[in-house]
Structure 1
Amino acid sequence: MSSDKDNAADEQRSGGIQVIARSSAIMRALGAQPQGLSLAAIAQATALPRSTVQRIIGALEAEGLVESLPGSGYRLGPALGQLIHHAHGDIISVARESLEQLGETLGETVVLSCIRGKQSNVVIRVISEQELRVVIPLGSSLPMHATAEGKVLLSTLSDDAIRDLLPATPEKLTANTLELPDLLAQMPGIRRDGVAVDIEEHTLGVSAISLLIPTFMGPHAVSVVAPTARFKPRLAEFRGALERFRLALEKQFES
C-alpha cells in the first residue's frame, strides 16, 4: 500500500515538473518573439503538440502571465512584468538617470514611451534646454501611426494585429502622415533594425527617431525628438546615441 502511494506521488511530481518545463518553454518562445506568436508557431518552436500548447496557454493567460493579441496570437502578459517589478524595481527608476544623461549629451528632447491601449504613452521625458525645442507633456498619448515611437512599438505586433488596432484610414495629421498600407510596408525594416523614423509625420517642423527597448515590463521605445532643421544633419549621431543608451540600459537590467 505504501509503495503504491509513493509511486502515485512520484508520478504526480513528475507530471507537475513536466508542466512547469513545458510552460517555461512556451514562455521562453514568447519572450524571444515580443511581437507575439500563434498557437501553431508556439507548438513548432517548442516541439509540443498544439493541444498541449493550447491547454497551457489557457492556464497562463488566466494568471496574466500570457495575454492574447488582437486578431490571433499571444505574447507575455503583464503579470510577468509585475513579478519581476517586485524583484528588480521599476523601469522608470532604472532608466531615468540614463535618459537624463542622453538628453544632456545630445541637447535635444528625449522620451521613453510604451503602448497604452491604442496609443503610445510617454512615461519619462527630458526636455531640451535649447531656445527652439520640442516639449512633450509627461503622460501624453500620441497616435501610433504617425510617430517614430508609435511605429517602433507597433512593430512588436503582427500586421494583422496592427490592422485590428488602427483604423483602416488613420487620421492625416500632416502631408507626410502615412496611409495604412505604407505604414505596414515599413514594418519589416523596423522589425529587422528595431528603429523607426518620423520626418514631420505628426507635426510640421518636428522629426524623431525611436529605438525599440524590450524590457521585463513589455516593449518600450526611446526617442530623440527635435526640430527638423537640426534633426536631419544629426540623424546618424542620434541613432548611435540611442544604440549606446540601449546597451547601457541592458547592463543596468542585468546588474
Structure 2
Amino acid sequence: MSSDKDNAADEQRSGGIQVIARSSAIMRALGAQPQGLSLAAIAQATDLPRSTVQRIIGALETEGLVESLPGSGYRLGPALGQLIHHAHGDIISVARESLEQLGEALGETVVLSCIRGKRTNVIIRAISEQELRVVIPLGHTLPMYSTSDGKVLLSTLSDEGIREWLPDTLEKLTANTLGLPELLAQMPEIRRSGMAVDIEEHTLGVSAMSLLIPTFMGPHAVSVVAPTARFKPRLAEFRSALTRFKAALDKQFEG
C-alpha cells in the first residue's frame, strides 16, 4: 500500500517537473520573438502538441506571464516584466562598480544597456570627465539599427526576426546610417565576435563600440561612447578593455 502511494507521489512530481519544463520552453520561444508568436508557431518552436501549448499558455496568461495579442498570437506578459525590473536591480548592483572602473580607466563615457520595446535602454552609465565628452541620459532609449549596442542586441535575433522587428526602410539619421540590407550583412561577424561598432551612424561626431553581455535576465550590451576624433585611434584599446570587462563581469555573475 505504501509502495503504491510512493509511486503515485513520484508520478505527480514527475508531471509537475514536466509542466515546468514545457512552460519554460514556451517562454523561451516567446522571449526569442518579442513581436509574438501564434499557437502553431509556439508548438513548432517547442516541438509540443498544439493542445498542450494552448493549455499551458492559458495558465501562464492567468498569471500575467503571457499576454494575448490583438487578432491572434501571444507574447511575454507584464508580470514577467515586473520580475525583470527587480532582477535588473541585481544586475545593476553587480555591474555598476566594474562599469565605473572601466570608464575611469578609459577616460570615456561607458554605458550598460538592454532592450526596451524595440529600442536600446541605458540602465547604467559612467560619464567621461573630459571637457569634450558624450553625455547619455540614464534611461535614454535609442534606435537599435543605428547604434552599436542596438546592433549587438539585434544579433541575438535571427535575420528573419530582425526583418520582422524593423521596418523595411530605416530612417536615415546621418550619412553613415545603415539600410536594412547593410545591417543584415554585418550580423554574421557581430554574432561571431559579439561586438559591433557605430561610426557616426546615429549622431555626427559621435562613435561607439559595444560588446554583447549575455545575462540570466537576457542580453545586455556594454559600450564605450566617445567623440569620433578620439574614438578611431583607440579602437584596439577599446576592444581589449571591453573584453576584459566582460570576463570580469562573468566571474561576478558566477560568484
Asked if Structure 1 and Structure 2 have the same fold, meaning a TM-score greater than 0.5 normalized by the shorter chain, the answer is yes
**1:165 Cα deviation from its structure 2 partner:** 2.3
- TM-score normalized by structure 1? 0.78
Deviation string for 1:96-130 (max 9, x for gaps)? 11111000000111111111112111111111111
Q: Which residue of structure 2 lines up, in the alignment, with residue 213 of structure 1?
A: 213
Contact 2:63 2:79 in 1 (8 A): no
- The answer to whether structure 1 residue 228 and structure 2 residue 228 are counterparts is yes
The one-letter amino acid of 1:244's match is: R
Contact 1:195 1:211 in 2 (8 A): yes
Count of residue pairs the alignment pairs up: 246
SS in 1 for 2:123: strand
Q: 1:84 to 1:127 in 2, by over 3 A?
A: closer
Deviates more, 1:58-67 or 1:180-189: 58-67
Q: Give the alignment of 1:170-249 within 5 angstroms.
A: 170-249=170-249
- Where does structure 1 lack aligned partners over 5 or more consecutive residues? none
Q: 1:240 to 1:3 in 2, by over 3 A?
A: closer
Q: Give the alignment of 1:118-137 within 5 angstroms.
A: 118-137=118-137
Deviates more, 1:189-198 or 1:60-69: 60-69
Q: Give the alignment of 1:58-69 within 5 angstroms.
A: 63=63
Determine the C-alpha separation between the residues in 2 that align with 1:21 and 1:191: 28
Determine the C-alpha separation between the residues in 2 that align with 1:254 and 1:148: 26
Q: Give the alignment of 1:85-164 within 5 angstroms.
A: 85=86, 90-164=90-164
Q: 1:112 to 1:10 in 2, by over 3 A?
A: closer
Q: Which residue of structure 2 lines up, in the alignment, with residue 82 of structure 1?
A: 83
Deviation string for 1:22-49 (max 9, x for gaps)? 556x38x949xx8569744543xxxx77
The one-letter amino acid of 2:83's match is: Q
Determine the C-alpha separation between the residues in 1 that align with 2:129 and 2:232: 19
SS in 2 for 1:145: coil
**1:75 Cα deviation from its structure 2 partner:** 8.6
Determine the C-alpha separation between the residues in 2 that align with 1:110 and 1:90: 19
The one-letter amino acid of 1:168's match is: D
Q: 1:58 to 1:228 in 2, by over 3 A?
A: farther
The one-letter amino acid of 2:80's match is: A
Q: 1:238 to 1:61 in 2, by over 3 A?
A: farther
SS in 1 for 2:145: helix
Determine the C-alpha separation between the residues in 1 that align with 2:214 and 2:11: 39
Determine the C-alpha separation between the residues in 1 that align with 2:204 and 2:144: 17
**1:18 Cα deviation from its structure 2 partner:** 3.6
Q: 1:205 to 1:194 in 2, by over 3 A?
A: same
Contact 1:84 1:216 in 2 (8 A): no
Deviates more, 1:164-173 or 1:201-210: 164-173
Q: Which one has more relative contact order, counting CA pairs under 8 Å at least 6 apart?
A: 1
Contact 2:207 2:227 in 1 (8 A): yes
**1:11 Cα deviation from its structure 2 partner:** 3.1
Contact 2:148 2:196 in 1 (8 A): yes
Determine the C-alpha separation between the residues in 1 that align with 2:84 and 2:123: 20
SS in 2 for 1:171: coil
- TM-score normalized by structure 2? 0.78
**1:233 Cα deviation from its structure 2 partner:** 1.1
**1:154 Cα deviation from its structure 2 partner:** 1.2
Q: 1:65 to 1:128 in 2, by over 3 A?
A: same
Determine the C-alpha separation between the residues in 1 that align with 2:74 and 2:189: 21
Determine the C-alpha separation between the residues in 2 that align with 1:75 and 1:156: 17
